[in-house]
Amino acid sequence: MLTALAYSADSGFYGGYYGGMGFGWFDPTYILVIIGLVITMLASANVKGTFNKYDKVRSRRGITGAEVARKILDANGLYNIRVERVSGSLTDHFSPKENVIRLSDSTFNSASIAALGVAAHECGHAVQHQVGYVPIRLRNGMVPIVNICNTLSLPIIIIGIILGATNLAMAGVILFCAVFAFQLVTLPTETNASSRALATLRDMAILDEEELKGTRKVLSAAAMTYFASAASTLLQVIRLLLIVQNSNSRRRD
């Protein structure tokens, strides 16, 4: 669920690499990197804190995350998808290529309302694939392109600035925008998976209305990590634009 923060790390790398470039020893745009870092750290702390709070609330039915995942998958005819355990906390994910939902140590054998929400969320992704949900198909198709753009953007921007080739540097920034586009597509994918999870937990009578309130808070906190990641990347795009623009202005002077 927390994969949203993966690309934020790349943004931090860009921030560190560009420290001082185009602005001498003092780079006022670095404040954008700091703001982005604070946003993602707060979102990460919030989801962990919210999960830990409701991980202490045991569901009345007492079934585990793994059992709930199996029930939801079978109810949707997804008998071919396995449910496996993976080490770590909040490392839960669905792998469509392997047809497997991997639930973390904090989810697999836990009967808490937080764990059941996480398990149902991952099942939501499996159902999205089954019904051909457009955003998740688009996101999966973008992955190889985004990886290439993310790898090439930094060298292109640097070379463009060194050579004074503004158009080349701007091309690098545009390539980096692919990361932001990927995160925008991810937002409806994740929020829809959570909506499906909550509806399924209610319709299958796995959680009652009171329990769903806590589960909804957990999934909402998780969704905020994706919004935080997108905001952080947008700030980085703005920073790169300012750096390229400033470099071009200095050369003209």
- Max Cα-Cα span within the chain: 71
Gap between the Cα atoms of 220 and 205, Å rounded: 21
Helices 209-252, 134-163: axis angle to 10 degrees equals 20
User: Environment class of residue 95 by beta-carbon count within 10 Å: exposed (0-12), middle (13-18) or buried (19+)?
Assistant: middle
Which spans in the chain are helix H?
6-17, 30-54, 65-75, 113-131, 134-163, 166-203, 209-252
Gap between the Cα atoms of 124 and 99, Å rounded: 13
Selection from 141, 124, 113 nearest residue 54 by Cα: 113
Active-site positions read 122
